[in-house]
Amino acid sequence: MAAWLCFSCGTLNNALKKEKRITCGYCQVETTWPKHDRRRKVANDAVKWGIVHRKLHEADLAKGRKVSYKLREVTELLEAVFWFITVSITGGVTYDIVKACCVRAVNAAREYNQKAKKDAFTPIGTPREIKEVEALIADPEKYEQMRREVEECIKGMPGVDPRVRMAALGRKAEASLRTAKLLAPEKLHR
Ligand SMILES: [Zn+2]
């Protein structure tokens, strides 16, 4: 069995890897492993490069020097949040609904991590990410900032210094993000 976080509602589901179609037990949205994995990849690139590393590159530029830093990986929790916010931009979904999905996902991540603690496993969300998502839920200003960053990402960062844009996204990721709108779930379920 493999766990997967629904990108339409934030519910944690389990399914066999050999299943042709996988269905969310809460919102009944149906997808496939290849489609889910493709969404995960795009969201992972977006958050890792377009949000986390963008800030580091901007700080480098402001200081006029390269600060060495370690690549920070992101997990399925932030990938899910990326999609919730993307759908809120492309489909006009309200903050309330995004928040409900984030609450479900963050609770699922916490529960999953606790249950799986003793086994070798990949967490659904790191403790740091869980804190970050909790802050988004509690603070509309933080949410607005994240929403702006996601929006800039899926638009290819038009107003951002090209040096930062290239360093943060690169041509490959830029192309991949252009498809984000096409890959986004159709809607979110409260
Ligand atoms: Zn769902």
Q: Is there a domain that residue 1 lies in?
A: no
Q: 97 CA distance to ligand 1 centroid (A)? A: 13
pLDDT by residue (tens digit) across 7-46? 999 999 999 999 999 999 999 999 999 999 999 999 998 9
Q: 25 CA distance to ligand 1 centroid (A)? A: 7
Confidence of residue 118 (pLDDT cuts 50, 70, 90): low
Q: 80 CA distance to ligand 1 centroid (A)? A: 11
pTM for this entry: 0.92
Total of domains in the chain: 1
Q: 155 CA distance to ligand 1 centroid (A)? A: 26
Tell me the C-alpha distance between 182 and 190, whole Å: 22
Domain that holds residue 57: 40-183
Q: 67 CA distance to ligand 1 centroid (A)? A: 40
Q: Is there a domain that residue 102 lies in?
A: yes
Q: Is there a domain that residue 97 lies in?
A: yes
Confidence at residue 119, expressed as pLDDT on a 0 to 100 scale: 67
